[in-house]
Structure 1
Amino acid sequence: MWRFSACSWRADLCVMTWLLHYVDPLDLGFVAAVLTIAFNPFFWNVVARWEHRTRKLSHAFRSPHLACYSLGGVILLLNVLRSHCFTQAMLSQPKMEGLDNLTTYCLGLALLGVGTVFVLSSFFALGFTGTFLGDYFGILKEARVTTFPFSIVDNPMYWGSTANYLGWALMHASPTGLLLTVVVALVYVVAILYEEPFTAEIYRQKPGKSHRRR
């Protein structure tokens, strides 16, 4: 397990080093994209944990459901901003000639399709509150979600989103997009490691209840 993880990190570093030959990391668009990618999961984890500890949002909105819907709306808007910054960063830097072909474009389109299926099916399986941290608001699932796409992959919302960005980068033949996709994947890995133990503890305190999240 540790060897596999170490090899995976080395591979990620090699990919990032190679891509940096084609990308200007000091470009303002690139910096903005990295900041939005890193900020989003940081924001929702801080707010959700604060809510779990204090119930301030639930009290302010007089309903845990309404509070969760409001946070979910903010997260959606932040994700739109992240996608906009990602796209602008790609457009502000040159394409990679070797990727600018029909085969790569079709591969990117396929990845975009797969990612969209994962994201949407995950959302429909979990519902709005299940997707947007409802368990931190005390809105718990009665049973573990095991239907598609959870039947084939853990955290399909995160990996579907990553596939979307990878597909979008390939369709634009963008080394900047590829590097930003690596950043997205690494940020999600950190988010998963940070979220899952805390969420498991929430459900551990509720006997007979378990679930599977993004």
Structure 2
Amino acid sequence: MDAFSSVVNTSTASLYVSILSIAFNPTAWNIVAQNEYRNKTITRMFGGNARYGCYFLAIMIFSFGMIRDHLYQRALSDQPRVPMLPAPYDTLVPTVMFAIGQLFVVTSTWALGVTGTFLGDYFGILMDHRVQGFPFNVLRDPMYVGSTMCFAATALWYERPAGLLITTYVYIVYLIALRFEGPFTDMIYSKRASAKKSL
């Protein structure tokens, strides 16, 4: 137990606030998006304009993502610093990892566009076909993988072992979110395909 407490300070409030914010984001957006699909709540807020509603949700998701990242860095600053990699790998590894993670996030956002990235399909804004180019030809969920890599890279850069534990938690949260998000999205496109066949 002493060994664990020497690398993770469990008495800091910032640790738990960060953990809560990490769980909040994908949970909230899945609930909000599924409600939108069924009840069109946000679309009605914007006078029936689904695209404006999707843009509003995109701004909310992006803003809360920035808050989550800030809270994560605050949590790391309250944790013990423990060297994990020898020089020069202590800076090289996190730099490369962060760059690759951001590459996955940015290129997947570019490939999907704003509405494709920020749950536009729940608003009825469907893509013509599944994106199969990079990075989707390398990973099924490049945005989640890239985000997880950035969490890990940040922990390594600041030499905070607690950050690696939080990163593991991030990955588990994303896996759980995908168990809801993936099938629901597949159902939306399956219904469209069935509707086209019946025409």
Give unpaired runs (5+ residues) of structure 1.
1-17, 210-214
Aligned counterpart, 1:109: 95
Aligned counterpart, 1:11: none
**C-alpha separation in 2, matches of 1:25 and 1:34:** 12
CA RMSD of aligned residues (A): 1.7
Aligned counterpart, 1:199: 185
**C-alpha separation in 2, matches of 1:101 and 1:112:** 17
**C-alpha separation in 1, matches of 2:4 and 2:18:** 16
Aligned counterpart, 2:150: 164
Query: Equivalences for 1:178-189 in 2 at 5 Å?
Result: 178-189=164-175
**C-alpha separation in 1, matches of 2:74 and 2:95:** 19
**C-alpha separation in 2, matches of 1:20 and 1:162:** 24
Q: Would the aligned equivalents of 2:102 and 2:150 in 1 still touch at CA under 8 Å? A: yes
Find 1:118's aligned residue among 96, 101, 104. 104
**C-alpha separation in 2, matches of 1:81 and 1:166:** 18
Q: Would the aligned equivalents of 2:40 and 2:123 in 1 still touch at CA under 8 Å? A: yes
Q: CA deviation at 1:177?
A: 1.1
**C-alpha separation in 2, matches of 1:28 and 1:208:** 50
Gap change, CA 1:52 and 1:93, over 3 Å in 2: same
1:39 aligns with 2:24: yes
Task: Give secondary structure in 2 for the equivalent of 1:67.
Answer: helix
Q: Deviations over 1:60-103 (max 9, x none)?
A: 10210000000110111110011001101111111113447431
Aligned counterpart, 2:123: 137
| Corresponding letter in the other structure for 2:59 | G
Identity of aligned residues (%): 37
Q: Size of the alignment, in residue pairs?
A: 192
1:176 aligns with 2:147: no
Give unpaired runs (5+ residues) of structure 2.
none
TM-score by length of 2: 0.92
TM-score by length of 1: 0.85
